[in-house]
Amino acid sequence: MALANSLIVLDFETTGISPDMGDRAIEIGAVKIENGVLTDRFQRLMNPGRRISPFIESYTGITNAMLKSAPGNAEVMAEFCEFIGDSNLLAHNAAFDKRFLDAELSKIKRRYPGNFACSLLVARRVFQSAENHKLGTLINHCNISCDGNFHRALFDAEMTAKLWLSILSTVEREYGLSNISFNEIQKLAKTPKKSIGKFLSSLAATER
């Protein structure tokens, strides 16, 4: 089955860093990119069934009072599954968000058909001179306008989406690639840093 020509950029806020140790999602934010344009948005708080720590309240700005009236994780994740459809997926440090997505969907016996890309791995290769590769640093590095609160799911997803478009435009501008594919970007994310120039030049040389 061919996947849709769309990309879902997502970000979780969670009770901690390890779903294997019982941590749960408390917010999901996502945007849909179609043909280089943000065409849809999704944001929901979800009640994990227990109180969150003062650290997480401070880190995210999401409070126990806000979560008290939120729907449960199962209801929200089922709705999010419909939003994903058959799109491919993207997150900044995707290993983290993928673990939580897989854990939450496993609890409701749902799956997604798309592949997961990581803007962190790609940015480390394309923006090697950046001070570091945290999302906020890369947004500044790319001169992307930024008016909102980091560590809220929808805002981080929107910033990741804009970073992704900046990565694509940088690659296309510097290497003369007019339409790099999702699969080619996935290969780029696995290419050794020192070979990035050679890899992209080879793509440009063989471009349709």
**Binding-site ranges for DNA (CB under 7 A):** 11-14, 16-18, 20-23, 56, 59-60, 92-93, 95-96, 99, 120-121, 124-125, 132-136, 151, 156, 189-190, 192-193
Q: Which is nearer to DNA, 110 or 141 (CB)?
A: 141
C-alpha closest to that of 90 among 170, 196, 204, 168 = 168
CB of 199 to DNA, least distance (A): 13
CB of 186 to DNA, least distance (A): 11
CB of 11 to DNA, least distance (A): 6
Q: Exactly one of 92, 133, 141, 151 is catalytic; which is it?
A: 151
Q: Which is nearer to DNA, 4 or 99 (CB)?
A: 99
- The Cα–Cα gap between 150 and 177 comes to 31
Residues 6+ apart with CB under 8 A from 150: 135, 136, 156, 159
CA dihedral 161→165→167→173, nearest 10 degrees, is 180
Q: Which is nearer to DNA, 176 or 198 (CB)?
A: 198
- Provide the H-helix boundaries in 85-195: 94-107, 119-126, 135-141, 153-175, 182-188
The token duo for 70 is 């939120």
Q: Which is nearer to DNA, 156 or 158 (CB)?
A: 156
Is 92 in the active site? no
CB of 176 to DNA, least distance (A): 24
Q: Which is nearer to DNA, 67 or 189 (CB)?
A: 189
Distances (CA, A) of 107 to 25, 61, 74, 125: 12, 26, 8, 35
The token duo for 98 is 């993928």
CB of 35 to DNA, least distance (A): 26
Taking the chain, what is the end-to-end CA distance rounded to the nearest angstrom? 23
Give the catalytic positions in this structure: 151
